[in-house]
Amino acid sequence: MKLGIDTGGTFTDFILQTSDGFKTYKVASSPEDPSIAILKGLRHFFSDPSSDELFTLPPDLEIIHGTTVGTNAFIERKGAKTLLLTTKGFEDILFIGRQNRKFLYDLNLKRSPVIISRSLVVGITERINAEGEVEKSIDTGIGAELHQFCKDNAIESAAVCFLHSYLNPDHENEISSELCKLSLPVTLSSQLLPEFREYERVSTTLINAYLAPVISSYINRLVYQLRKNSLYIQQSNGGILPAEGIADRAVHTILSGPAGGVHGAFRLAREMGIEKIITFDMGGTSTDVSLCDKAPTLTRDYTLDDYPIRIQVMDIHTVGAGGGSIASIDAGGLLHVGPESAGADPGPVCYGTGDRLTVTDANLFLGRLLPDKFLGGEMVLHPDKVQDKMQDFARSLDIPPVEAAMGIIRIVNIGMVKAIRAVSLERGYDPKEFVLFSFGGASGLHCCELAVELGISKIIIPARAGILSAQGMVMSEPALDASRALFLSGDGISHKVLKPAFAALEKQLAGQLYHLCAGGVSESDCFLDLRYQGQSYEISISYEDDFEELFHKAHEHHFGYQLPDIPLELVSIRCTVKMKKTACQLPRQEKKQQDYIHQEEGRADICFQHGVESVPVYQRSKLSPGVVMQGPALIIDNYTTIFVPIHFQMTIDSLLNIILKRTLAL
């Protein structure tokens, strides 16, 4: 038995896989303590019939959890009080950063809040040169000074990042042994990210140390509540890791939830024989998009709140556009939507507790949501409250209420279209060649309009679209990745050198993974970070026999040209080791002869540009494989509602996915 749990900003999703198939559940998130919502879900599946409070978990239950605890703690700057130790003279690296500026001419630019104050950065007199040789040893009395500093400043965690420690970690290890005497969690750059580029290494190491106590505290509470059941945490690279090993890799949980969604969509696409997909995950708080061309796209250039995190993560572009995104009017009378969200509390106006209009309210006002069918009828919406608020809001804009609601939808759609273009057109991919995989609670109301704007002709809405991120977690496999600096150039980049280097890295990772997962069969993926001689930045490619040709082609794809006569430079090697698990089988249904097209659940009055039109409403659970119907229509699912415009045709496949195809050119 496997239970996937995806904690989002608005809802917490559950999917339970047993030998009988899947069971799903969704509950409002509890931002103050995510475990409250998790325990509510566990009670739903495993409660004792004689008690509303007690529940017993099956001993063979394996739980996979995607958490936003680390991300939220960083954005809100609620991490641990962290000490950063670096080489004397380099204390300001974190605050100087790079010379790149997003808004070069903005005179009112506000920098992102600092992670720690400058007073918590301490320079240590030591030096290792660029060849890894010790030029200046650490003073013998440094231990006592550090102990006193940590006590005086109530330090809760420590990050150590010395110059060139990726070549020689001795000084970092020496400092770590002193700090461990204080029982402090310590993050060493030579272990977390043994690569060059000081700013990125300092930032990544510090963020890991900053989040480690927060993640550790949360996971320990959860493990205690789950007793002896296996708990895995979803990582940002698409793999999972046992909970006891995640505290040392806290930074790897930054994209925990969204990574599960991309992985779930990719696995489903592969089972359907589709190689090129764009994932569109629209929830209550944000929208996450990613591109998969035969495999999920990974990146090591991710930034969180303007701070670089140089680890391997799913290449996911996130925008503050969700069902709970708040509509507002600025001082100039212009309409804005997001990035602020109403979240789960107070939520949209239609929930009955919110007082600011959101995208969900606009959809309800336009008739795209049915008040008594939301969340499978478990949550009743309040259209009367939305009606009053929309009237007041439209009056402020001096336009009709319907036009105001449509304006909210158009603006949020524009933001999501820009996000999809950022992962496709801006990186050399034509979205017209891809299938749009639409999932998340709010995506079904917007996916068709986005597809029209992008020229995409086919949309897949998975059978369990509202909880696909949790489903992706159930399908994930344990994985560890690591890198190592290796500087080679020209003819020196040979298989004779690379094979033993990769073998050592694979052995190290496989040993760690075997220890955490108690054995298993593993497989490895190896990568090279290459560039042309004289370039400043590199491209990551798979390590294969023809890696040089692969690099030239990748360079041409990214930049439009290649330089086959210029020698290559290697700066680092990377490896990912995965533990193979039994593949999760998705339920299928054979086509039936009955025609369900005329089994309407009712009619809904939906506002269009040309006026109000009555459209048929169908229950998704009653639509069998083989059904074909033409829009407009409204499809009601337990955790999502799908709006099918007039120029789209809908079919159901054997996996119970909804397939939408454009039938008219606009």
* pLDDT, tens digit (0-9, with 9 covering 90-100), for 157-202: 999 999 999 999 999 999 999 998 998 999 999 999 999 999 999 9
Locate tokens 């007073």: which residue?
119
Mean pLDDT, rounded, for 430-444: 94
Residues 463, 15: Cα–Cα separation, whole Å: 12
Q: How far is CA 643 from the centre of its chain?
A: 25
Following CA atoms 537, 542, 547, 552 in sequence, which dihedral angle do they give, to the nearest 10 degrees? -50
Exposure string (b/e) for 618-649, b if CB count within 10 Å is 16 or more?
bbbeebbbbbebebbbbbbbbbbbbbbbebbe
- Evaluate if residue 67 carries a pLDDT over 70: yes
Q: Work out the pLDDT band at 98, boundaries 50, 70, 90.
A: confident
What is the predicted pLDDT for the residue at 601? 82
Q: Is the Cβ–Cβ distance between 442 and 360 less than 8 Å?
A: yes
Q: Is 39 exposed, middle or buried (0-12, 13-18, 19+ CB in 10 A)?
A: middle
Q: Is 570 exposed, middle or buried (0-12, 13-18, 19+ CB in 10 A)?
A: buried
- Evaluate if residue 270 carries a pLDDT over 90: yes
Longest dimension (CA), the chain: 84
Residues 634, 627: Cα–Cα separation, whole Å: 15
SS3 content of the chain, % helix, strand, coil (to 5): 35, 30, 35
What is the predicted pLDDT for the residue at 438? 96
- Evaluate if residue 128 carries a pLDDT over 60: yes
Following CA atoms 493, 496, 502, 507 in sequence, which dihedral angle do they give, to the nearest 10 degrees? -160
Q: Work out the pLDDT band at 53, boundaries 50, 70, 90.
A: low
Q: How far is CA 480 from the centre of its chain?
A: 17
Tell me: the pLDDT tens digits for 354-396?
889 999 999 999 999 998 878 777 778 899 999 999 999 999 9
Q: Provide the residue count of the chain.
A: 666
Mean pLDDT (the chain) is 90
| % of residues, the chain, pLDDT over 90 | 63
**Of 17-21, 76-80, 459-463, where does mean pLDDT reach its minimum?**
17-21
> Coil, strand or helix: which one is 209?
helix
Name the more confident of 589 and 40: 40
User: Domain 74-217 adopts which CATH fold?
Assistant: Dna Topoisomerase Vi A Subunit; Chain: A, domain 2 (3.40.1360)
Q: How far is CA 76 from the centre of its chain?
A: 18
Give the predicted TM-score (pTM) of the model. 0.89
Q: Work out the pLDDT band at 51, boundaries 50, 70, 90.
A: low
Q: Work out the pLDDT band at 101, boundaries 50, 70, 90.
A: confident
* CATH of region 479-579: 3.30.1490
- Evaluate if residue 430 carries a pLDDT over 90: yes
Structural tokens at position 495: 């298989």
Q: Is the Cβ–Cβ distance between 352 and 386 less than 8 Å?
A: no
CA 432 → CA 418, 631, 647, 655, distances in Å? 15, 21, 17, 24
Domain ranges of the chain: 74-217, 479-579
Residues 634, 179: Cα–Cα separation, whole Å: 61
Tell me: the pLDDT tens digits for 491-539?
999 999 999 999 999 999 998 888 888 767 788 999 999 999 999 889 9
Domains 74-217 and 479-579 alike in fold: no
Of 489, 468, 501, 524, whose CA–CA distance to 263 is shortest?
468
Q: Is the Cβ–Cβ distance between 356 and 326 less than 8 Å?
A: yes
| % of residues, the chain, pLDDT over 70 | 96
Write a three-state SS string for 471-517: HHHHHCCEEEEEEEEEEEEHHHCCHHHHHHHHHHHHHHHHHHHHHHH
Following CA atoms 594, 598, 601, 606 in sequence, which dihedral angle do they give, to the nearest 10 degrees? 140
- Evaluate if residue 54 carries a pLDDT over 90: no
> Coil, strand or helix: which one is 576?
strand
- Evaluate if residue 344 carries a pLDDT over 60: yes
What is the predicted pLDDT for the residue at 666? 47
